[in-house]
Amino acid sequence: MAHLNQLRYFYHLKSVERHNSQGKRKESSAEHSWSGLVLADYFLGKVKQKLDKIKVYEMLLYHDLVEIEVGDVNITDGDKRKGKKELELKAMQVVKQKIPIEMGNKFVRLFQEFEDGNTPEAKFCKAIDALDAVIHELDYKHDWKGWTEDFLREKKSSLFEPFPEMKEFFEEVLTQVRKEGYFSQTSQKTVFV
**Residues 113-142: tens digit of each pLDDT:** 999 999 999 999 999 999 998 999 898 888
Count of structural domains, the chain: 1
Residue 193 in domain: no
Residue 35 in domain: yes
Residue 148 in domain: no
Q: Which amino acid is at 66?
A: V
Residue 151 in domain: no
Q: What is the CATH number of the domain that holds 86?
A: 1.10.3210.10
Residue range(s) defining the domain that contains residue 14: 4-137
Residue 60 in domain: yes
CB atoms within 10 A of CB 92: 19
pLDDT in tens, 142-183: 887 777 899 889 989 999 999 999 999 999 999 999 998 888
Q: Which residues contact 41 (CB under 8 A, 6 or more apart)?
A: none
Residue 91 in domain: yes
Residue 89 in domain: yes
Residue 186 in domain: no
The model's pTM: 0.90
